[in-house]
Amino acid sequence: MKPILRVLLPVGLMVLGSLMLSTSAAIAQEPERVPGPLVGIGEDIWRSGLSCWDCHGNMGNGRNEDPRSPKGANFRETILTVEQIAEVIRCGRIGTPMPFFGRNAYTGENSCFGLNAADLGAQMPPEGLPTLNARQTDGLSQFIWYYFGGKGPATFEECIAFYGANASSCNRWPTEAELAAGGP
């Protein structure tokens, strides 16, 4: 091996290795979540406007609050984007109990998934009430993604921070210490 290569090869390998480590660390870190401009509207809807909790649970983990309601999706494990969540809110899920909340969804120019009500027949999702305009739908999807999307198991501390110290519905969630210890 030429003398220059004996010096440059180890240095080049060290640089390459350090680049690979920093790249994998950057890939492993989730980018900082920034709330969308309408997240406050979505939070207001979540807290009081719709019955999202009935199926999706107060902490968005798919643990339905009303046992008569179907089990909803677990937002804390979702890989959907804000736009995809908005589409599901607006259009529901075809052939499932997930209702659509978009005003005039499946009518005229407001087709969902390229379909209208006549195309779906018995597979038409139920209409949710109240219906939402585009701004409300976008706000709710931004809220769901920002507060729940990919966050892992709900904790007592997180619930109290969101709903306040007097929220009795938070007592069912494990503490951070319990989760860290491998508990519930």
Q: 3-class secondary structure for the chain?
A: CCHHHHHHHHHHHHHHHHHHHHHHHHHHCCCCCCCCCCHHHHHHHHHHHCCHHHHHCCCCCCCCCCCCCCCCCCHHHCCCCHHHHHHHHHHCCCCCCCCEEECCCCCCCCCECCECHHHHHHHCCCEEEEEECHHHHHHHHHHHHHHCCCCCCCCHHHHHHHHCCCCHHHHHCCCHHHHHCCCC
**pLDDT, average across residues 4-32:** 44
Whether the predicted pLDDT of 61 surpasses 80 = yes
The Cα–Cα gap between 118 and 85 comes to 24
Rg (C-alpha) for the chain, rounded Å, is 23
* Percent with pLDDT over 70 in the chain: 82
Residues 105/117, Cβ–Cβ less than 8 Å: no
Whether the predicted pLDDT of 11 surpasses 50 = no
Whether the predicted pLDDT of 12 surpasses 70 = no
The Cα–Cα gap between 78 and 62 comes to 11
Q: Looking at residue 134, what is its pLDDT?
A: 94
Q: Looking at residue 14, what is its pLDDT?
A: 44
* Percent with pLDDT over 90 in the chain: 59
Q: Looking at residue 183, what is its pLDDT?
A: 72
Q: How far is CA 20 from the centre of its chain?
A: 30
Q: Looking up tokens 């087709």, which residue turns up?
A: 111
**pLDDT, average across residues 52-75:** 91
The Cα–Cα gap between 63 and 30 comes to 25
Which residues are within 8 A (CB) of 17 and not within 5 positions of it... i.e. 6 or more apart?
Answer: none
Whether the predicted pLDDT of 93 surpasses 50 = yes
Whether the predicted pLDDT of 33 surpasses 80 = no
What is the per-residue pLDDT across 118-163, written as a single tens digit (0 to 9) for each? 899 999 999 998 899 999 999 999 999 999 998 999 999 999 999 9
The Cα–Cα gap between 139 and 148 comes to 14
